[in-house]
Amino acid sequence: MAILNVIEAITHALDLEMSRDDRVVVFGEDVGFEGGVFRATVGLQEKFGVKRCFDSVLAESAIIGSGIGMAINGLIPVVEIQFSGFMFPGYNQIVTHAARMRNRSRGRFTVPMVIRMPYGGGVRALEHHSESLEVLFSHIPGLKVVIPSTPYDAKGLLLAAIRDPDPVIFLEPKRIYRAFKQEIPDEDYTIPLGKAKVIKEGADLTVVCWGAMVRDVQKAIEPLEKEGHSIELIDLRTIAPWDKDTVIESVKKTGRIAVIHEAAKSYGPAAEIITAVNEGAFLYLEAPPKRITGLDTIVPLPKGEHHYLPDAQYIAQELKSVLTF
């Protein structure tokens, strides 16, 4: 049993899968010799050679396009985009080719490819480094979108993503890359894509979140539970396709829901989740659903970043308003 943080768990998963399946290749900007900007791929080139772990050109469109070509010709590429805010030159390749290949070829070709991207705020980065863009991918049919919140989940979800026959966007919350460690089994295991995790059960309020926000929410609900409130906490894990059944059944039990994410509020993932709850459990609601999110602004530069991200104190205040409605 190893004790790893999130970034180490990702490295471990890549190492494990490259050892198990020689079709898996890893590439991206500086992922080879340097081991990646966050060191997620450190040691892989030395162990597996330059043909299976290598540096790409500094061009996101070329990285994604090359991966698509490799995937439809029998390889399983796992590519890294250094920061999700720089993926837009490759977005065309993702949306117009990777996501549509199965449909376009009527199932003759699929794109078994994972696109890893560090995302989100909280590390005082520069412009284009801190956005939460999960909704841009979740809106596109043909893509799966996965976000881990713990080292254990990072390994299990990444292994499942690599073995998926279709393209998976694997968004990594860089704020928690090295925030904490966790015991992880050395052996192979996967976590099903599309299945949420109920972190704790409760009776008064359903709280849905993912990624780095999970830890902030856990801090926020501690004082509320000391006051006697019972809160059910759900880590969505997969944003597309998301686990609608688990969330709706939870709301039928608690009668209240709040969705928390870093992404901007308007047209964000919370809007979709709350709409589905209104469609599936409206008559069970005892309070208006609540969105606790980032702001409808560009993510501020480091000195203003704390004004953008919902912190534990703000989350607790907003959850209290739902509980006492």
Query: Could you list the active site residues?
Result: 129
Q: Which residues pair with 240 in a beta bridge?
A: 145
Peptide bond into 241 cis (omega under 30): yes
Q: Which two tokens stand for residue 167?
A: 């393209």
Q: Which residues contact 120 (CB under 8 A, 6 or more apart)?
A: 130, 131, 132, 171, 173, 174, 175, 211, 212, 262
Token reading at 121:
């705020």
* Both tokens assigned to 178: 């090295």
Q: Are 99 and 167 in contact (CB under 8 A)?
A: yes
Compute the distance between CA of residue 168 and CA of residue 201 in angstroms, rounded to an integer: 29
> How many Cα atoms are found within 13 Å in the side-chain-facing hemisphere of 17?
30
95 DSSP 8-state letter: I
User: How far is the CA of 142 from the CAs of 78, 97, 132, 171, 244, in angstroms?
Assistant: 17, 10, 20, 16, 18
What is the DSSP-derived secondary structure letter of residue 165?
S
